[in-house]
Structures are given as C-alpha cells and as structure tokens.
Amino acid sequence: MLIKQLSVPKNSVTTISESATLQEAITLLEETGFRCVPVLDKSGRIFRGNIYKMHIYRHKANGGDMDLPVTHLLKNATKYVHINSSFFKIFFMIKDLPYITVLDENNNFYGILTHSTLIDLLQQSWSIDQGSYVLTIATPGERGDLANISKLINRYCSIMSCITLDVQRENMVRRTIMTLEPGISRKTVDEISKVLDRKGFKVVQVEDLHND
C-alpha cells in the first residue's frame, strides 16, 4: 500500500475536535504555523473536514462570532482517499490542497498525505539524483512510438524513467521525457539524438543533470 507508506500517521498529525471554537482553532493554527488542520469528531476517529486560518480571519474581520464551533467554517469534507485507493486518484484530489486526508479500511482517520511528499516522490521517479541526461523527445503520438524510442535508446544505454506529456491534447506533437542511466557521455547522447532524428523522433532538449 503505497499511500499508507507515504502518509503521516494520525499520532504525528495536529488535529482539532469538532467541538472546538473558532478562537481555539486560530490559536492552534498560529501556534503551529499551519494554514489548516484536520477536524475530527468528538471520538477522534471520524474526519469532518479541514479548518483554514484564512477563512477564520475573514470571518473575524467581518465581525463574526469567534465562539462558534469550527464546523461553522468547515471545508473539504469530501476531500479524502483511503489507504487502499488508487495512487493516481490522489493527483485529482490534492491539486489545490496542502494535504489530502487518508482514511483506513473502516473509514476512520488514518493520517494525511502532504503535497510536498508527492512532489518528492515525482522527483525520485524522474531519477534526477541518479540519472545522467534527460531527453525531451517530440513524437507524432502514433501507436508504437514509445516502444520504438525505447528500443533505439536501449542500443546505447538503459532508460531510468519515462514521462509522457500532452497525451490529452488532440492533433499536437507529444513530448516524451526520458532520463538516461548514469555514466553516459555527451558523445553518446549526441549519437542517440541523431538516430532518433533519423527515425522521425526529434530531440528538442537535452539536459545534463549534473552540469546544467
């Protein structure tokens, strides 16, 4: 369960009870420096939503009652995933959030998965720290392009990671970004670029991960 492994567990997450007031919430947020925290029910098990510093201050500036419960300004009540959810579901849920709430098999609050953790994971998957060069290759978007590009590059070296962009755009050139194994020389990269170009795959950018 990748989501479970990446999540910050409940005992390490700052939360607040649904019975707390807005004043208590803003005090907690100021003390911790967080922009929002999860709100749990009185049992401490059920996720109710998030409370944001910004919304509390807006409420206060408009003369709102700070003794109201945090549920008065509750947000993101349906923004959560389960520890056994598809990993790709997170990217659609967390887009505008600092974290996504994670629930366990019994729908109880398990913890959170932060935005920064996802960014770190993407960086690792791109093999930035271990790779040598990154090639951005323009392709027509035809069937078999990825297999053909991989076959051509594998004559010279191994491919450590691959990301394809523009896959949802119609009638446009698609970009395939490949990170090559360490120890590859610039001369080899130039040879790879020439071979790809002859086969109709244009290398539009070469990035040296260690010298650029």
Q: What is the CATH number of domain 127-208?
A: 3.30.70.260
List the domain boundaries for the chain: 2-120, 127-208
Q: How far apart are CA 134 and CA 124, in angstroms?
A: 14
Q: How far apart are CA 23 and CA 16, in angstroms?
A: 12
Residue 181 is encoded by which pair of tokens? Answer: 């194994």
Q: How far apart are CA 69 and CA 25, in angstroms?
A: 9
Q: Does domain 2-120 have CATH number 3.10.580.10?
A: yes
**What pLDDT, in 10s, does the model give residues 59-113?**
999 999 999 999 999 999 999 999 988 777 787 788 788 999 999 999 999 999 9
pLDDT at residue 128, rounded to an integer: 62
DSSP-assigned letter for residue 113: E
Amino acid letter, 124: Q
pLDDT at 183 over 80: yes
**What pLDDT, in 10s, does the model give residues 125-141?**
666 667 789 999 998 87
- Pairing status of strand 80-82 against strand 99-103: parallel
Phi, psi torsion values for 87, nearest 5 degrees: -60, -35
pLDDT at 168 over 60: no
Residue 136 is encoded by which pair of tokens? Answer: 């951005």
Q: Could you tell me where the DSSP H helices lie in 13-157?
A: 22-32, 53-61, 89-93, 115-125, 145-153
